[in-house]
Structure formats: structure tokens, C-alpha cells
Amino acid sequence: MDKKPLTTTEVKEAADKFFPLFDVVRERMPTESSTEDTLKVMETVCKLAHKNRADKEAEAFGFLKVEDGFVKTD
């Protein structure tokens, strides 16, 4: 891993990606939730999002597609 200090541009780019995701989770949290609570939930939500992405990618390589609960065999 690179040990050079991060530039302000690198931190800004990372923040531009992070905060919209954080805001999506924070909007759904109870009003009394702390930032720490939100970060813990965000970690779980992001794990689920990664799993959903992997499932969709695996499905795309299959021969049978499932649409509206039915197997399509074009």
C-alpha cells in the first residue's frame, strides 16, 4: 500500500463518492441515531448491496433468465 500522504483532490473524490451513500442510509435511520449507528448500518447495507450485485452478475451468465418469477427460455 502506498504510504504517501493523500492529496486534497483524492480526499475530495473519495468524499464525493462516500457522502451520497451515507446520506441514503442516514435518511432512513431513526432521528435519534448517532453517526456511529449510521456507519454500522451502512456497513451492513453495503455488504448486502455487494451481494445483490454479485447475484445479478451471476444470473446474467446463466442460460435461463428469470423474469417476473417465471423462467424464460428464449
4 located within any domain: no
For the record, the C-alpha cell of 9 comes out as 483532490
Query: Tens-digit pLDDT profile for the chain (74 aa)?
Result: 779 999 999 999 999 999 999 999 999 999 999 999 999 999 999 999 999 999 888 877 765 566 666 655 55
44 located within any domain: yes
pLDDT at 59: 77
58 located within any domain: yes
pLDDT at 15: 98
15 located within any domain: no
pLDDT at 7: 97
pLDDT at 1: 72
CA–CA distance from 24 to each of 8, 13, 29 (Å)? 24, 18, 9
66 located within any domain: yes
17 located within any domain: no
68 located within any domain: yes
Domain that holds residue 40: 33-74
Q: How many domains does the chain have?
A: 1
pLDDT at 21: 97
2 located within any domain: no
